[in-house]
Amino acid sequence: MDAVIAGVYLVPTIIIGIVWMFADPTWQNALRLGLSAFAGAALLLRRRFPVAVFAIALVAMLATLFLGHEVDFVAVLVALYAIAVYRSAPAAWIAFGVVSVSTAAALGLGVLLFGGAAAQLGGESPAAVIAGDRSTYEPFDSNPTASWITVVLISLFWVLIGINIGNRRRYLVALIDRAQQLARERDQQAVIAAAAERGRIAREMHDIVSHSLTVMITLADGSSRLAETSPERSADAMRMVAETGRSALGDMRRLLGVLRAAEGDGADREPQPGIGELGELVERFRAAGLPVRITVTGAAPTDTGQQLTVFRVVQEALTNALRYAALATAVDVKIAYETGAISITVEDDAAVHGASGQGTGRGLLGLRERVGLYGGTLEAGPRSGGGWRLRAVFDTIENHTDNRGDTQ
């Protein structure tokens, strides 16, 4: 399209310029032909450099005023249109003002410079002196004022068209950019959601696998030691191992069922464990040999997410106690459902703890993420006088059941 526009301007202009050169081979006609060719060639770059093309076209137009021929302002119109479309409306109005002022200045300067020369030459036109036997100086064969008005009106028409098309083009570009931005944001949100879901699944997997395997390994070790001296207790321990394994397998199926919901495999969709399963959890650790004592005060929340958080905090704390505090004589679990907050404290009195390097630390990290969802904090570390303490505090949703405080 740029080549077509440049060709539409260049071909007739060069042909007419060559004809004039053969008819009247003067330097003025040669200069005008060269300026027209240069301005037409510049139009090929009107999209990339509209301001530079406008400057070249304006210089060519002003030069034709002093070469005694009609104003060659076609290239200027194309450049004005290009500025309005590919730059901005303010830039187009500035360029229009430059054309208007420059044309008026050039026409006025010509009258001032050559008006007196024409009188001294016996009425001969100053254009004849400059351009060589040309009979007119004013563009469009009219006086300078009419020529200026004509140039301004035609330039205004092209500027308005260019601004209209340029605004629509910029609007479409803005829509495309907005669509691309929304697509990027959608992809980023999908990545963030996938990462959050992977983190949630990783926390659940850690809680299920770590707890279950820790209990099973402890029970299996105890069963092997009791196999010869107390076969009945050894059998009970192995039955507890099997029960713990089946429970863990059920939790795994329930978790994976969420991931495979789209496949329609009919996986069980039972609710996640909550406060009601704390008693069973404690009994499982007691069976593994951990002396657990739990105290619950206050009204428990009915929100399933918070109940799951309480369950997982207690589960992870007891799992760590079973793994690292085998010499503990008492493990106290205190859960307080207070107004607007839930606090969980798990303490043991083991004088010596196992090496912390046995674990990866992901369990406590997952607990901090769980508690952080409700604006809470989690602290874990040695307590004064020996032993280990884990304390979690987080906000509650204002929806509680009846008071069910008890001590087991």
**Residue (of 131, 137, 134) closest to 110 by Cα position:** 137
CA distance 341 to 375: 10
What do you get for the CA distance between the two ends of the chain, in Å? 87
User: For position 345, what pLDDT does the model report?
Assistant: 93
What CATH number has the domain spanning 277-408? 3.30.565.10
User: For position 358, what pLDDT does the model report?
Assistant: 53
CA distance 42 to 36: 10
Report the relative pairing of strands 377-382 and 388-395 from DSSP bridges: antiparallel
301-to-170, 251, 392, 398 alpha-carbon distances in Å: 55, 22, 16, 8
CA distance 348 to 328: 6
Residue-range domain boundaries for the chain: 2-181, 277-408
In sequence order, which residues have a C-beta less than 8 Å from that of residue 325 and are 6 or more positions away?
Answer: 331, 348, 350, 353, 354, 387, 388
Digitized pLDDT (tens) for each residue of the chain, 408 residues in all: 878 877 777 777 777 777 767 776 777 667 777 777 777 778 888 888 888 888 888 888 777 766 655 557 788 888 888 898 888 889 889 989 988 888 888 777 766 655 544 333 333 333 333 333 333 344 444 567 777 888 888 889 989 998 998 889 889 988 999 998 988 888 888 788 777 767 777 777 777 777 777 778 877 877 787 777 788 777 877 887 787 777 777 777 776 665 655 445 544 555 677 888 888 888 888 887 888 999 999 888 888 888 888 988 998 888 888 888 877 888 999 999 988 899 999 999 887 766 544 555 667 787 888 888 888 899 988 888 788 899 999 988 654 444 444 444
pTM, full prediction? 0.47
